[in-house]
Structure 1
């Protein structure tokens, strides 16, 4: 019944989409090529890790952070930091650095780490980490191999944040004024990192080519060249994969099914750790009444969408989390109830607030699956009297709209269909919800200023007692479920497909593409 319902909604909305394929020459035997920026974990054509909201699967092949999650996303381990220790009061972090050189031959030292952290904290640089690193009180480099970071207060998300801060070369960037870095061509022409591969060239809108760093501390890479291909759609990447032009790409669930049982490929499936939601801009009068936000939740048949469009490979989210240890008892399930949605809208005076005026539903998700999801949502909301019109843009355009300082056109993104990481560290959602993280400080693009929610987030971030941490994040979940800063939808699985010609290849469907310890230097191809 639900699958038939979804089909009806999609037919009404008329947005069932397909894809077109492209082709290029196959690479030689010592080259691995892939669509490493395809899909929701990618960020095509962004080369600046300070401004990245995704794409770390690729960026981490030539840049590296101090610490990194393991491939299972279960714990942090050292990367450019060989090891680290945290003081008992959770205020002092001491990092012992690995012995490494930059790709241009200059030595990597503690000065580079100090420079990077100070640059990342400077919002003039265009860094998206400025507010998230705001608890740093000082960064000291007592010797070339040691960095000491002191915080002004305990912050349980500090190390997970550092896992996405790629360390940058002081000698190459210090002379550039921070305000020029965001638009500098350095990132896409002559970047210098410490990873297993060195930047070689970028062919505009086509691909990026890296060359092996033979002196990498983790060992000489097994292949000579690593290539990241750009594609107009996941379908085009799938066509290139089947043609042997690339050896890996993210795929949509329907495509993943088509590869299962094919001995030439391996399907990789895992949790995305990303909660998809409808963001409701609190600078727009339309969504300030909680009854309107509740009506949106009741109007959407999430289970039907999950069954039909995700093949069951997703879990409904009634707050920012779906992990059992983060879910308290007594959450409102917001079961599909269009009659209740209509009643709530009537109580809130929706006819006077908006009526049938079209509302743009903005997204950066451009896949056929996302189009179908938005079409279903569009039709379901229309049935209760909310008229939304989907608008799909690329990620840079989306970011330009929602992060704009000053007085943005609020109506241009009154509603968004988006995603934000909800793990492996639960603090990952704080930048998207905390009132202290409104742009340009952080990711709170919906300008949510709910005091109870921010207080719950701050309390959880400051919790240092391991026995109480889960309970603290459960309180965040309770407040989200009650106040609905977002209309939370689901957490879905993600899929990648790799050619069986690859050896020791690691890909994890991590939020923002990671980073995680994939060890590209070990990847081989037969």
Structure 2
């Protein structure tokens, strides 16, 4: 029997059918659930390689699976392909007992696959975005086919969270591919093999991905025959498809929510995104090195007005990388809107001589109308104090290729408007801020080299006393607030809308980029579609 079916009951805040009824042994013929299950209404076409994925792991986990995973209410990390796991008292040894499972092609899943996957994820040559996060792993032992033991050089409190994002890969299929060729392999989008409830069927370029039920899945045969993840040009197209009954679920923007409220054919799912949005300063661009200039940006943006008018109040101002009370100490600078103070700081920094009104590109991967309006508001507010920014929105692959390139052109992104997951594990934002995470090691795309910030993260990650971790992350918050590697904006709510024809469907608004225990094999339709 599947491990997850043995777990204690969870508070599934997004379950659409209150009583969890027993599923039939076999699904009715022809049932298909379609939706925008990826990273937003526009999706992330081409996002197939979980080693290189910076988002979309919730969808990828439908056919791949990690060793461990968050429960559906994001309060604990539990086993997935690991039947159980133990952490030594010194937090330097992690032992995993694996569940009995087969790959979709019939080969047995073993400890050798885990070792292969983690070694590939540790190797920057594979294009892995996890290389730096796994740097503390000193050795990977496989005493037998069902046991994996990780030995760390130093404690790393964020390791389990990282492992929730690393999908296990088959050594027998990929073991002979040179590491440098993995990222560009066509295998990911043509013949990938996983262990999840659904098997990869086909990808129609820029249109949809189709997966089909795994008849032999350890949790039982899925209740529907197919899942289809569709891509849309924009949120309006996704909303139209949902209303027309073409799909049963999609992410929506905050300004779309009102159109579904009170309609008994749909259920609106709302919750905090755990993603902090920020204006990021490229530290390879000289004029951002002056703290006064970075402070001026913070004081020039009326975040409260943007939240009230554009987010309809469904966001919380962020004065560091966190908004959760346990990580935000008293007394940090609130950066209340003060354009006159911003002007004074720019004058002290000599902004007129340094850059003046020369246009500064702000690069983003957010292509939805809400973000367009947000950037227009930020542009107007900064213009009032003498900073001339020009928004440039690109698709996610173009954005990643631009900012994470081994030899980037920094003139392409002197500023960015982006988001990074800040919970439920607070170490998540380390990858975008620590000097050790500068590409290709991590995703510190802005090449931030601030010793105080890096030291605060290192201390928090190395803290072995759980009772002291919150205080460590309060120090992280203080150093971010004082040094401003980012101009932190807000943490907004996130929304999904599901057809009430969906049964046993679980979707959690956060974390944006990581999987959670959604039990996709239980998803069903009240009427065959």
TM-score by length of 2: 0.93
Aligned-residue offset at 1:39: 1.6
Structure 1 equivalent of residue 403 of structure 2: 402
Contact 2:42–2:234 (CA under 8 A) maintained in structure 1:
no
Distance 1:517 1:470, change over 3 A: same
Aligned positions of 1:136-151 closer than 5 A: 136-151=137-152
In the alignment, the residues of structure 1 paired with residue 88 and residue 43 of structure 2 have an alpha-carbon distance, to the nearest angstrom, of: 35
Cα distance per residue 1:487-526 (max 9 Å; x no partner): 0000000000000000000111123342000000000002
RMSD: 1.0
Aligned positions of 1:490-501 closer than 5 A: 490-501=490-501
Cα distance per residue 1:358-415 (max 9 Å; x no partner): 0001000000000000000000000000000000000000001101112x21111000
In the alignment, the residues of structure 1 paired with residue 147 and residue 249 of structure 2 have an alpha-carbon distance, to the nearest angstrom, of: 38
In the alignment, the residues of structure 2 paired with residue 514 and residue 70 of structure 1 have an alpha-carbon distance, to the nearest angstrom, of: 12
In the alignment, the residues of structure 2 paired with residue 59 and residue 403 of structure 1 have an alpha-carbon distance, to the nearest angstrom, of: 22
Structure 2 equivalent of residue 317 of structure 1: 318
In the alignment, the residues of structure 2 paired with residue 41 and residue 280 of structure 1 have an alpha-carbon distance, to the nearest angstrom, of: 26
Structure 2 equivalent of residue 10 of structure 1: none
Structure 2 equivalent of residue 214 of structure 1: 215
Per the alignment, in what secondary structure is the counterpart of residue 419 of structure 1?
strand
How many pairs align?
A: 498
Structure 2 equivalent of residue 375 of structure 1: 376
In the alignment, the residues of structure 1 paired with residue 466 and residue 362 of structure 2 have an alpha-carbon distance, to the nearest angstrom, of: 40
Aligned-residue offset at 1:38: 4.7
Structure 1 equivalent of residue 191 of structure 2: 190
Distance 1:428 1:30, change over 3 A: same
Aligned positions of 1:87-486 closer than 5 A: 87-406=88-407, 408-486=408-486
Contact 2:37–2:229 (CA under 8 A) maintained in structure 1:
yes
Contact 2:39–2:512 (CA under 8 A) maintained in structure 1:
no
In the alignment, the residues of structure 1 paired with residue 192 and residue 402 of structure 2 have an alpha-carbon distance, to the nearest angstrom, of: 27
In the alignment, the residues of structure 1 paired with residue 410 and residue 255 of structure 2 have an alpha-carbon distance, to the nearest angstrom, of: 35
Per the alignment, in what secondary structure is the counterpart of residue 443 of structure 2?
coil
Following TM superposition, where does structure 1 have runs of at least 4 consecutive aligned residues deviating by more than 6 angstroms? none
Aligned-residue offset at 1:187: 0.2
Where does the alignment leave 5 or more consecutive residues of structure 2 unmatched? Answer: 1-28
Contact 1:40–1:365 (CA under 8 A) maintained in structure 2:
no
In the alignment, the residues of structure 1 paired with residue 513 and residue 224 of structure 2 have an alpha-carbon distance, to the nearest angstrom, of: 22
Contact 1:41–1:510 (CA under 8 A) maintained in structure 2:
no
Cα distance per residue 1:220-244 (max 9 Å; x no partner): 1000001001110111100000000
Aligned-residue offset at 1:41: 10
Per the alignment, in what secondary structure is the counterpart of residue 50 of structure 1?
coil
- Range with greater deviation from structure 2 (181-190 or 32-41): 32-41
Aligned-residue offset at 1:40: 8.1
Contact 2:274–2:512 (CA under 8 A) maintained in structure 1:
no
Contact 2:43–2:231 (CA under 8 A) maintained in structure 1:
no
Contact 2:43–2:232 (CA under 8 A) maintained in structure 1:
no
Cα distance per residue 1:182-219 (max 9 Å; x no partner): 11100000000000000011111111110100111111
Structure 2 equivalent of residue 509 of structure 1: 509
